[in-house]
């Protein structure tokens, strides 16, 4: 069983993590002072999702996942890694558990579940956009 697509998927996720980190810094520096913290985080979900889709579109052929299950496996790896990264970074920067959880709570204006869904599905979406579709 060839799982090299998962190794390449992890490497691609590292690129996504760096891009998202820079995106978060830029959002905090430029957008938050204008629209406030919550609105900047909400906007950031959509701009970050677009960025993730672009990166996925650029790297999906290199990753080498071609079947639907392989593409979803890459998405699942990205999701688990990003959730771990988000929580670890948030805690390292002093965010409380309440603050971290609020990003995932629609009732509190948190939209991160939307972003995480896009992240999970982005390998599949990118493959379809690249014309590769996904074999069963």
Q: Record the pTM.
A: 0.94
CA dist 78 and 91 (Å) reads: 20
Spatial separation of the C-alpha atoms in residues 12 and 18, rounded to whole Å:
10
Residues 41, 77: Cα–Cα separation, whole Å: 23
> Average pLDDT of 26-51?
97
Confidence band, pLDDT 50/70/90 cuts, at residue 131: confident
Q: Report pLDDT digits (tens) over 88-118.
A: 999 999 999 999 999 999 999 999 999 999 9
For residue 74, count other CB atoms closer than 10 A to its CB: 28
User: Which region, left, alpha or beta, applies to residue 98 given φ > 0 means left and ψ of -120 to 50 means alpha?
Assistant: alpha
- 53-87: per-residue pLDDT in tens? 999 999 999 999 999 999 999 999 999 999 999 99
* Nearest alpha carbon to residue 116 among 129, 105, 127: 105
Name the H helices within the chain: 4-26, 32-35, 37-63, 68-92, 97-102, 112-129
Model confidence at 134, pLDDT cuts 50, 70, 90, reads low
């Amino acid at each position: 069983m060839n799982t090299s697509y998962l190794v390449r998927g992890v490497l691609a996720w590292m690129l996504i993590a760096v891009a998202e980190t820079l995106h978060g810094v830029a959002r905090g520096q430029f957008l938050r002072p204008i629209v406030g913290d919550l609105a900047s985080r909400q906007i950031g979900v959509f701009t970050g999702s677009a960025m993730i889709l672009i990166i996925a579109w650029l790297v999906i052929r290199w990753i080498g996942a071609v079947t639907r299950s392989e593409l979803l496996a890459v998405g699942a790896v990205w999701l688990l890694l990003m959730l771990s990264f988000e929580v670890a970074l948030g805690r390292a920067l002093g965010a409380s558990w309440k603050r971290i959880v609020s990003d995932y709570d629609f009732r509190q204006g948190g939209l991160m579940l939307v972003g995480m869904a896009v992240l999970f599905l982005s390998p599949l979406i990118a493959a379809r956009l690249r014309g590769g579709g996904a074999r069963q």
